Every structure is written in C-alpha cells, then in structure tokens.
A and B are shown apart, each in its own frame.
Chain A
C-alpha cells in the first residue's frame, strides 16, 4: 500500500479531484479542486497550504555536529546560527552536486536536514569518529508549507514568536497546545513559512490552523500549483533541472554548484577554512573558469512566440502547466548554446518563461537566444532573452 502523510485524513477530504501523485512513496495531491491555476493565484494573492511531509528529514545531533556538517555540506554551516535555517548542498569529491536541501538549526547542537531523496547512508557513513548521531525522522515529523502574502499575519495569531523572524529564521511555538517549529522557508518564492509538527499532533495542528484561516482566502494547494510557483521563483527541482551526481552515468548528467547558479553560497570561500568534500575541485573550477554552464532564467519574446503560432493558424497556447523537458537553445547561427529544463507560461509575469542552462559566454542578462520547440510537428525557434533568476521575486519574500 502506498503510504499517506500524517495529514491525509484531512487532505483527502478536501481533494475534490481525487488526483494524487506518488511522491517518495506517499500520496500527494496534484490539485484539490478543478483549477490548479486558481490554487496558484491563492498563494500569490492570499495564502496556500501545502503538505510537504514526504520530504526526507534527518535529525543530526551531537557535540561535534557543527564540525561534521562543516565537512560534508558545501555551504558554511557555521553561518547558520541556532534559530536559523540555511539552503545548502552537498558535493562529491569532484565538485559535482549530490543534492540540495534546507537545513534547520533549532538548537546549538541540533540540526534538521531535508532532502528530496534518501541520504541517510551517505551522511551516516561519513561520521567516522565524530560524536554525531543521525536519525531518520521522516515519518516522525509532518510538515506544512504555509505560503503567500497573508501567511505571516495569519500564522502570528497562533504562533506569536514567528512574527519577526527573518528570511530563513526559525522559531518555536505552539499550535493548539502542540509544540511546533516554524521556519521562514518554502518552495514558492513568496513570503512563506514551513511548520514542523510531531506526527501524533499533525491532525490537531491542521485543524487548529484550518479553523484559524477560515474566510481568509487560503486554499490547500497541490503539486501542480507548486511546480508553477517554483519555476517563477527560480527554485531548481531534482531530476528536472539537475540530477544527483551519485546516480549519474556520465558527467553530462552532473552539475557543479557554480553551474547551478549557487556561486553565492561560496562568496566568502577565501575566509572559509573548512575542508569540505568537493572543495578542491570547486576552487579549481572557480580559478580556472571551467564551468560549462550558467543557470539562468529565460523570458520568451511574446511577439515572436505568437508569430509562430499565428503563422500556423493556431491560437498561441499560454499554458501554465510546466513542461519539464530539455528544449534546445541556439544562437542566430544555429549553434547550440544551452537548453531549457523547465518551461511554463507565467500568469503573474504574463510571459512564457524557463529555467535554462546557457553557455557562460551567453550568460549576460539580456543576451538573445533562440528557444526551439515543435509547432504542428515541426521545429520552430522563437527569440528569448537571458534573465536573472528568480524571475518573480516580490519584496515581501524577504522583507
């Protein structure tokens, strides 16, 4: 039997469509009602609740935990002080990305790491003689993402401690008497929070939260809306925009953090004295400028897009459903200069957009490229320009 999340009793009652995906062996709602776009707008205009429980979660504790994580995680964990969270990644010794995830530091020697795929063995096998314990708490903790402009003002009624936490801050509090951890994190690129709840309290916390948001325009949202939000937000998806180097067959399927647009994680590498896995390769890549790709946003030229469809006598489709396929990018001489990995029509931006890799010499913002896809079963190219990620980045996200 497929597993269900700790909130399933409630989410299944709300899921009018009964459309579910399998996510890490759990049922996860695709959408709750007939329109995923309506859920998407609820997040951008009010707030939405997403059950993110199927993520893998590891509690990592012990006297030496900071030194241990400093060695296995690429981003400097020491910058993540207690009461904070950090977006991080871990590399292999050739400097390729294994995975990314958010790590919470609720206490000095206590961390909670999330990942899309199982990573228990990877970390446990690297503890060595450190005084560090790692525990897979994926099933012990249910997680709700509460995302959107109204999220702070609504959640603070229940958890006053979270009102002033900064972007990637963490607070502890109670919802309906049950202890919860609240982090200002999420996968929507909007103002938003994630609530970490002990599984036995899950339904009680859901009910308390649900009652508190009645009449506020808050909707539960499913994977379909989430996948729209994350493309606008420039947040990468494993097995869509990149693959884990652990399971790659060759380097074409591997990426370095620089190639994924995460150079900002290593801005202070000079003053960072850690010996972390992949460091030497990373330093060499930066010094020798050997990165093969730059991760960028693409904004499609709307006139050119409409042109190819109008010429074919078709209504130019403006479909918000993401296309997660490699679509090639060319320069004007038909030389390949990159590929898009996630494509969609963004209702907020009123443009077709993509997350794409471009050759470093095409990475300057505003550079014109040609995006190739099929119209009427033949290839067409439309103009697009290279843009900074995230393409949608409201002030409230970090304010």
Chain B
C-alpha cells in the first residue's frame, strides 16, 4: 500500500491526468468534458464518484491535495511510522457500500479492535474484551448493580439502533414539498416510528433530544463505567455529557457496526488512509479519473445551471453534473456565488453550526506504555481517558469559556498493536483524539497554543501511564485550525457540521435542501454536511449518487435519450 498519488488503472477511461499532473492546458475541450465532476476526493467524494462511474458515467474527481482521502488519510511522518493524521477508526461505514463497490477486491480489510481499556484516576480500570462473561465480572468489580444493567443498556441501545438504522440509508423526505411522492416518503418514515415498540420509541426520542447523562444515570452507578460510556456522547461536538443533545451523539457512536455487531469499531489495515486508498482503487476500477493537486476555485454556472468547474490555475473542466463533496459552507458560500442562491438558504448556511472542538495528537513511541501491571501490548483497541462524567463535564467547562480542556478527554489507540504494519518492529504509533479544543480561543489563537496543547495532552497521558513521556519519539499536534487548513473542514469540525438535532435529517444542511440537490440545476452536494452526516459513513456519497442518477434518468427520458457528455 502506498500513500502516494493513486495511479490510474488500465480501465481508467482517461487516466493521463490522474496521477497529479497539472498540465492540461494543451488538451482540447472535449478531453476536459465529463458527465460528472466531483469536487473533493474525501471518502464521500470517492464513494460518489465510484457509484456514478459504476453506472457508466464519465467521472472526474478533483482533489486539492497530493493524496485522496480528505480527513481519512494515513501518512508516514517518520520513516516506518504511519500516522492516522485525523480520522482513525471505522464503524459507521454503510455495509452496502462495501458490497456495491466491491471493496474487498481492492483490499478492504477491517481489522478487529478487540478490546477497550478505560483507566480510572485511582489505578482502577475497566477492560472490555470479546468475552461477555468476563465483561460482566469486570463491571462487577466496580458495581454489582451495573453488571446486568450493562446488558440491559446494551440490549436497549441495540433495539434503538436497529429501529433507527434504516434512516441512515435513506434520502430524507422533503417535508416542504407538495409532491405526492415526498408525502408518501414522509408517511413511511412516520409509520416506521409508529410501528416501534413503545419503550424503543421512547428511548429513541430520549436519545435524539436529551442528554447522555440522563439516559446513562437511569442504568448505572459506577462513575468509571459512566465516564467510559458517556465519552461517546461528546465526540466531535461542543456538548458535555450533561448537555441536551449529547444523547444524539451517543446514539450515532453506537449505531455503527463491525461485521454486524452494533457499536463495534474496526481499524482498517493501514488506517482510514488505507481505506480511502481502497475506495480510490475501486472508483478507478469503474473508470473514474482522479486528479490530484487540482484545487477547484469555483463552479461554473450558466443560466442557473452548473456547466463545469474552474481550477485555481484557470483550467476549466466541463460537465452538466457537478458534485461538491465539501462542507456546506464551502459548497454554498465559496464554490458558487451566494447571490445565485435563495436568501433563506444562504442565511441557514451562514448560521450552520461548525464550531470544531476536537484535535488530534499523534505520537511515535519507542515502546509500549504501561498501566500498573498491564502492559500496552494488551491494549488492542481504544483506550478511553474519560474516567468519570464529572471529568468530561469539567473538560467541557473549559471549552464553554473559550479555552481548551486542561484535563482533556482523550480517545487513544495504539494502532500498531492492531496492525503491525503501522510501525517498525517493537515501536508503536499512538493516535489520540482530543477534546475539548474549541476552534475559537479566548484572547489567543491556535498557532500560539498548538504546542501547549501537545504538552497538556502529554501531561495527561503521563498521569495515567507513568513514564509515558520517555517513550515519545515524535509528536504531531493537529488543532481545529490545522484541520481546517489541511483538510478544508470549516472551523475544523470533523463531521462537516455538528451533530445537532436542528442540523440533522430533514434539516441537513438546511431546510428544504436535504436531498443532495441545490438551487443550481446540475449542482449537487454529497459531503458529510448532508444526511446522515459525518464519520466515515459514505452514505452521503452513495445517496447523492442515487439522486443524481434519478435526475439524469428523468432528463434522459424527457429528451428521449440518455444524456452523455456531448457538450464539446
């Protein structure tokens, strides 16, 4: 696996520019004309391009950077040490995509993260393994009450997940439309809820609207267990476990699956960068062309419809379908002229909440950290630094007042214990997801605070794993500002817009525009800022492709032929 530019495959219809070459000036307009152009080679852009190419369209994916993947990349920042720079695990990826895009053929390999370690502040810990009975015993060490409460909680959550999951795989009905088809779709969503068991529906609503703390307090008494579970309720979002809205985040982090097991997470071989390389190979195998180092300046429109894109270097590419895989702010306020859009959409996008609050600190380690008698070789999944709900809530308090947590929540993974290819023999890489680190700092900025954040994280790890600092060979700090600058995610929000009820489903990214179309004819959106949202899900890319193909078929039927690229 290489993390360099993906090479065009033989099946690529027009592969000559796919390897990052910029010289296209000499090519004719016909050569620069496609059926569909996707702006942004993140995972959703790749999924979208792959589906469109698979259906026979001539597809061009334009990526600004030297590698595809967006926030799902893996980089060798030190010889032999591979860092999952940003995104670091898989769970929400829609299983249909694996099958539809034949990802297994291209190297899809979701390695099991086989346990989770949750250390406490007092030397105590919880170690969850794949052995159910052992997990009960482990919880009982902390609370006999919580041992079977945990089983009840898991079962209740699974019931909610199973009931809600189909919503992830559907285009949200347009509740503002009088189209009978949309009204039927809405009625179908309604009937889904109506059919739910009372308890499941009530739990679903509590999670979708309430706080994780309220929900968890109903089941548990152990602070350590509640700290661990509520950690999933804050990820990527500026809420504490006691904030209303954290239940939704908890639900999202429970509804993913690994080989059919809800809430289980996988580490793709070579990280999420390894995964997006698989996606790129799949897209290319269907004939999509991927062009690296091709930053798009704007979408070209004519008479209210998209006709192509212009790169920052002036090169133009043409297509009657243009898809933005970028976040809503870039899609509506930067790639096109907001004056071409309805006022209410512009207003909604302007107030769309990003407020990135997470950072990454990645380490190259000379050996494994230890916790009491446990050595790090046993940490084969996440290590959750969130020893109680109070700890997390206090970490949030700092963020409320414009500063980063002095005792941050850290979601760690020593990825080299899961995939030995991530580091040289005997050495390790540690990925740390950090919260809270608000995008906007009070009376300072991230360029000044970046290394101080790194120190804060390292100090926190030292507290749990004495001697940690001695193992550090290299440290990489990625603040929300770095995420914005490198990946292009506005304000560094990892979900391309917060998970927050008024920004979900019918309303993602804006009321009336949740069906992947835009007010500009032929211009579509497929980024994580659309339903069902962020995490490496791929659903927006897939669902948007379905809409595009449906629209093209309608136009084709109207004109009596299938549209092909004949503009030149």
Contact = CB atoms under 8 A, between A and B. Distances in A.
Contacts of A46: 420-421
A45 B426 contact: no
Nearest to B262: A315
B130 A35 contact: yes
A34 B259 contact: no
Contact of B114 (A17, A35, A214): A35
Contacts of A130: none
Interface in A54-72: none
B131 A215 contact: no
B264 to A, nearest CB: 10
A2 to B, nearest CB: 24
Interface stretch (A78-86, A203-211, A347-355): A347-355
Interface residues of A, number: 29
Give the interface SS of chain A, mostly helix, strand, loop or mixed: loop
Contacts of B110: 347
B162 interface: yes
Contacts of B134: 34
Contacts of A318: 259-261
Interface string A289-302: 00000000000001
B147 interface: no
A385 interface: no
Nearest to B417: A217
Query: How many residues of B sit at the interface, in one of the four size bands?
Result: 20 to 34
A122 to B, nearest CB: 42
A313 B426 CA distance: 46
A38 B425 contact: no
B546 to A, nearest CB: 16
B149 interface: no
Interface in B423-460: 425-427
Contacts of A214: 425-426
A150 interface: yes
A243 B109 CA distance: 34
Contact of A317 (B95, B108, B111, B260): B260
Interface of A: 17, 33-35, 37-38, 41, 44-46, 150, 214-217, 302, 313, 315-320, 345, 347-351
Given A150-B420, A347-B259, 17 more contacts: A34-B129, A34-B130, A35-B112, A35-B114, A35-B129, A38-B112, A38-B380, A45-B419, A214-B425, A215-B427, A216-B420, A217-B421, A347-B110, A348-B104, A349-B104, A350-B103, A350-B108
24 contacts: A33-B114, A34-B129, A35-B112, A35-B129, A35-B380, A37-B112, A37-B130, A38-B380, A45-B111, A215-B427, A216-B420, A217-B416, A217-B420, A302-B95, A316-B260, A317-B260, A318-B259, A319-B260, A345-B259, A345-B260, A347-B110, A349-B104, A350-B103, A350-B259
Interface of B: 95, 98-99, 103-104, 108-112, 114-115, 129-131, 134, 158, 162, 259-262, 269, 380, 416, 419-421, 425-427
- Nearest 3 A/B pairs, CB to CB: A217-B420, A318-B260, A215-B426
